[in-house]
Amino acid sequence: MAISSRSRRSQVTNYWPGFVDALSSLLLVIIFLLSLFMLSQFFLGQEILGKDTAMSRLNSQIAELTDLLQLERGNSEDLESTISSLTATLAGAEEEKAGLAAQLAGLSTGDSSKDAAIAGLQSDLQKQTDLSADAQAQVALLNQQLAALRTQIGALEEALNASETRDTESRTQIADLGKRLNLALAQRVQDLSRYRSDFFGRLRQILEGRADVRVVGDRFVFQSEVLFAAGLADISEAGKAELSKLAGAIVELEKEIPADVNWVLRVDGHTDKRPINTPQFPSNWELSAARSISVTKFLVAEGVSAQHLVAAGFGDSRPIDTGETEDAYAKNRRIEFKLTE
């Protein structure tokens, strides 16, 4: 009878090493994909930031050129108005000059009164001639200024068109970068979803028939009875053996993850809702936190870097099962491991 019992125990297969190997391999794949995703997102974000800066600068230049163009156009209109006024004055002066010349031609010399009139007309004629010359000089100067102003307006319009062209090209490039980023994100999400699905599928096969370790969402759940005695936070010998396997996988994972990837393994302690009140643990908060800290310290002692570990105690605030049965209480007493940022 004893021989038969020992034979049956020898036939029980230990699935835990396979589970650890699958866990470490698939975690490495997921971390590698996350690293690629973060790097691609960083570089694309830098490129988009540069394009946004260039576009802002172009928009500022366009606004300045537009204001300057409006100002130059206003000056051009003022000059054209002045030229028109001077042209009208010049035409009037020419007409008055012609009239004075006609009057002068109708007068004959020899009469003192006529001579005085002629002298006055000649003086007026000279004044009109001088005024006409000044007006012509001003008109010529204004025409030169108007030509220069039109040249400046043409240059400003060319610069404005060039800036608008660059702005359009920048917007097109930014839109293209946005599309590329969205495609990259969609591809990374699709890849991560596929690998996560394969990963949890394998874990369910490996852990089939075991009730002490489960996969819940994106977390690995150890029932407290696997690691601790009731009401205590000291890890049992059996629990240390299980945690040693997990620590080995985490140490190997640390070697593979790049140093610039910000990741931590969060160790969450949970209790059932039945209150505890002992000198060591006045409430479930203290008990859950103490158990989480005990696991974290053990992992550090096994070689896991402390900077990649976070201990958290949730007490009875996050139950898995809200029932009032012993089975529900047992499910809620647990230690959860979650790989996160």
Q: How far is CA 317 from CA 231, 270, 271, 276, 322, in A?
A: 17, 8, 8, 14, 11
131 and 249 assigned to the same domain: no
pLDDT tens digit string along 22-78? 777 777 878 877 787 787 778 777 777 777 777 777 777 787 777 777 777 777 777
Position 201 in a domain: no
Average pLDDT, the chain: 75
Q: What are phi and psi of 313, to 5 degrees?
A: -115, 125
CB 246 within 8 A of CB 20: yes
160 and 236 assigned to the same domain: no
CATH of the domain at 90: 1.10.287
134 and 269 assigned to the same domain: no
Range of the domain at 294: 211-341
This prediction's pTM: 0.44
Count of domains forming the chain? 2
181 and 226 assigned to the same domain: no
Token pair, residue 67, equals 């204001």
How far apart CA 325 and CA 329 sit, in angstroms, is 6
Token pair, residue 183, equals 């495609």
Position 21 in a domain: no
65 and 161 assigned to the same domain: yes
pLDDT tens digit string along 234-289? 999 988 888 887 787 778 777 766 776 677 788 999 999 999 988 899 999 999 99
Position 8 in a domain: no
178 and 285 assigned to the same domain: no
How far apart CA 261 and CA 248 sit, in angstroms, is 20
How far apart CA 277 and CA 183 sit, in angstroms, is 55
What are the DSSP calls for 41-110, one per residue?
HHHHHHHHHHHHHHHHHHHHHHHHHHHHHHHHHHHHHHHHHHHHHHHHHHHHHHHHHHHHHHHHHH--SS
CATH of the domain at 334: 3.30.1330.60
